[in-house]
Chain A
């Protein structure tokens, strides 16, 4: 174990609860600040045909040792939100507003050069599709050692030793370090990516669809590994996925995004038991259910809006079966309720207890939609 401890927390070190896992903080860090506070983040893409408001006013927090799931359809801004934290964006994308405070340090105002030292050191990424994120002509061990050499300035031999330990930590035999990516299976490549993400002992790991394109068994193994690592190393995790069951299994909190905005955010249990936003309800209704005998899955008719010209008012209103006149005109405010759920929907009056306005109950396309028949399930009804 002696080698691993140099870099990784010893097992059993308490995490969360304001503790910083004993890892050194960046210089300007405020030791009492929350781990990550994102406020009103806006990221726009400039195309020849107009400006795409891919992320338009997203706020969220991440605390020590917490796992946050970001869910939503394709193209609703999940990945852009996460990659905006470190500005790992394509050339035509720009963070145009908002703040990203890591340990109280605002990363959104940092210059590209100043930001470089936070990349991978403080926030690392498990990329989608490990085969593409690994260089096919370099040995896996060398690639895992790369951030250790480049970021931490550790000598090569020492870095290679650590890389082998990291591979072992994620369940790859250390002699496979000499293999090339094509000699590993899909699951092992994803494990190697995870090892690489852990290389600098970052404060936050972003998993960008880490289980996509893996079969169900391997997917379960990878999720289990993430869970184990989170417990052992006290990682804070942001998990981006369109698979709600992955979030249900792994995350503490979930943030549902629609068309570049937060639709609903809250503790996984509360939100999954009693989804309030019609979009969340319909998303959950689209999950296959063993008990219900349906031939067809619930679907949400239509597709996400063109973000060059987003619809006025609530962005979901063209697809929302419960849309009211007010939804077409006024952008719903985000309101946080007593049970920790944050919601942007006109159906639920601000200042209320999270109960819906007295209007017709939502008939979701699928019959098995949780929370569809028992209207305000989530809120602590006094």
Chain B
């Protein structure tokens, strides 16, 4: 018991070695899932596009900086053709990745945060708090996303003004983020609650209570680590759902015309009559991007679920 000074640094080293080993093990297990690897590669590609679109296609083209003529076919100069005012579609699509991904990310954060907190608190406390929180969840579960968005968007925009900006995000986008978050946290809360109900009956929770841990302590230190695999897998799938919802909302005209997300592009294409004019190059690129990103997220989500879930058979 007198070797304390030696042990402290040794222990830290051991801890890091252990973490490294665990990380390696995780990567190896994940890598054995081919679909997961494909999904992850696609996500990395799109994340790269979203992070630095200017690097790939230059700054976002506007009507004044448009480089081509109206509705040009794909060619050497414009790989994916141009839109009705002569903007390069490739440029718009790559720039659109950024807006779509940012909206998806923020909406997912809201969803997971709300869902995890409500799910864990409701499941662990039980009784009256559970009743109240679950009825609230039921309410949001049945709330129709589009109706809510249509009602909420003009009201919020009227209050804050269409040009208002928060944290560098325009108010219109913020509305979409909030609407997606508000309508999708409920199912996450249900999933987390169900897992919490099973975890809280385990004996180590009783033990923690006997030791004198407060409810907050038990929820944070004992329940949360046991549902984190669900949270991770759920985050990825929620992200896909958020991008899908964002596309739909923008397509029906609730998006921000100044921020070209993929849904916004599809909306513009429809407004310009691209389907009728046979301008497939205007519609296909953003649509394919949406499909590919959602597919990639789903692949990664399923792979993560398999790798993280200790009960999965493939392990």
Which residues of A are interface residues toward B (Cβ below 8 A)? 1-4, 86, 88, 116-117, 119-121, 125, 127, 129, 132-138, 143, 146-147, 150-151, 161, 164-165, 168, 174-175, 177-178, 196
Interface readout for B223-264 with A: 1 if CB under 8 Å, 0 if not?
001101000000000000000000000000000000000000
In the complex the two chains form, what is the Cα distance from A125 to B210 in whole Å?
9
The 7 closest A-B pairs by CB, nearest first: A132-B203, A137-B225, A135-B204, A147-B211, A133-B207, A133-B203, A178-B15
In the complex the two chains form, what is the Cα distance from A161 to B4 in whole Å?
8
| Chain B hits for A135, CB < 8 A | 204, 208, 221-222, 225-226
> Per a CB cutoff under 8 Å, which of A4, A86, A178 touches B18?
A178
Closest to B205 in A: A135
| Chain B hits for A168, CB < 8 A | 1
| Chain A hits for B2, CB < 8 A | 1-2
Q: Are the C-beta atoms of B211 and A119 separated by less than 8 Å?
A: yes
Closest to B310 in A: A136
| Chain A hits for B203, CB < 8 A | 127, 129, 132-133
> Per a CB cutoff under 8 Å, which of A4, A119, A147, A175 touches B11?
A175
In the complex the two chains form, what is the Cα distance from A147 to B208 in whole Å?
8
| Chain B hits for A143, CB < 8 A | 204
Most buried by B among A137, A164, A178: A137
Can you report 8 A-B residue pairs in the complex whose CB atoms are below 8 A from each other?
A133-B207, A134-B204, A135-B226, A138-B225, A146-B221, A151-B211, A164-B11, A196-B211
Instruction: Using known A-B contacts A119-B211, A119-B212, A132-B204, determine if residue A178 contacts B14 with beta carbons closer than 8 Å.
Output: yes
Given contacts A86-B210, A138-B225, A151-B211, 10 further A-B contacts (CB under 8 A): A1-B2, A2-B2, A3-B4, A88-B210, A138-B221, A146-B221, A150-B212, A175-B11, A175-B14, A178-B15
Instruction: Using known A-B contacts A120-B210, A138-B225, A178-B11, determine if residue A133 contacts B1 with beta carbons closer than 8 Å.
Output: no
| Chain B hits for A175, CB < 8 A | 7, 10-11, 14
A-B contacts counted at CB < 8 A amount to: 77
| Chain A hits for B14, CB < 8 A | 175, 178
| Chain A hits for B10, CB < 8 A | 175
Min CB distance B170 to A, Å, is: 41
Q: Are the C-beta atoms of B4 and A150 separated by less than 8 Å?
A: no
Q: Are the C-beta atoms of A132 and B210 separated by less than 8 Å?
A: no
Q: Are the C-beta atoms of B1 and A4 separated by less than 8 Å?
A: yes
| B213 within 8 A of partner (CB) | yes
Q: Are the C-beta atoms of A150 and B213 separated by less than 8 Å?
A: yes
| B202 within 8 A of partner (CB) | yes
Min CB distance B17 to A, Å, is: 9
Residues 1-39 of B at the A interface (beta carbon under 8 Å): 1-2, 4, 7, 10-11, 14-15, 18
| Chain A hits for B228, CB < 8 A | 137
| B217 within 8 A of partner (CB) | yes
In the complex the two chains form, what is the Cα distance from A161 to B11 in whole Å?
11
In the complex the two chains form, what is the Cα distance from A187 to B15 in whole Å?
23
Interface readout for B191-225 with A: 1 if CB under 8 Å, 0 if not?
00000000000111011101111100100011001
Interface of B is mostly: helix
In the complex the two chains form, what is the Cα distance from A125 to B206 in whole Å?
11
Q: Are the C-beta atoms of B213 and A3 separated by less than 8 Å?
A: no
> Per a CB cutoff under 8 Å, which of B204, B212, B226 touches A133?
B204
Min CB distance B9 to A, Å, is: 12
| Chain A hits for B204, CB < 8 A | 132-136, 143
Closest to B12 in A: A178
In the complex the two chains form, what is the Cα distance from A164 to B204 in whole Å?
20
Q: Are the C-beta atoms of B212 and A1 separated by less than 8 Å?
A: no
Min CB distance A55 to B, Å, is: 19
| Chain B hits for A127, CB < 8 A | 203, 207
| Chain A hits for B1, CB < 8 A | 1-4, 165, 168
| Chain B hits for A164, CB < 8 A | 7, 11
| Chain A hits for B222, CB < 8 A | 135, 138
Min CB distance B1 to A, Å, is: 5
Closest to A199 in B: B211
In the complex the two chains form, what is the Cα distance from A133 to B205 in whole Å?
8
Most buried by A among B10, B15, B212: B212
In the complex the two chains form, what is the Cα distance from A127 to B210 in whole Å?
11
| Chain B hits for A161, CB < 8 A | 4
Closest to B221 in A: A138
Instruction: Using known A-B contacts A133-B204, A137-B225, determine if residue A119 contacts B210 with beta carbons closer than 8 Å.
Output: yes
| Chain B hits for A133, CB < 8 A | 203-204, 206-207
In the complex the two chains form, what is the Cα distance from A147 to B23 in whole Å?
30
Q: Are the C-beta atoms of B212 and A116 separated by less than 8 Å?
A: yes
Q: Are the C-beta atoms of B225 and A132 separated by less than 8 Å?
A: no
In the complex the two chains form, what is the Cα distance from A45 to B191 in whole Å?
32
In the complex the two chains form, what is the Cα distance from A138 to B8 in whole Å?
19
In the complex the two chains form, what is the Cα distance from A120 to B212 in whole Å?
8
Min CB distance A1 to B, Å, is: 5
Min CB distance A305 to B, Å, is: 28
| Chain B hits for A134, CB < 8 A | 204
Instruction: Using known A-B contacts A132-B204, A175-B10, determine if residue A150 contacts B210 with beta carbons closer than 8 Å.
Output: no
Instruction: Using known A-B contacts A134-B204, A135-B222, determine if residue A146 contacts B11 with beta carbons closer than 8 Å.
Output: no
Min CB distance A331 to B, Å, is: 34
> Per a CB cutoff under 8 Å, which of A2, A121, A174 touches B7?
A174
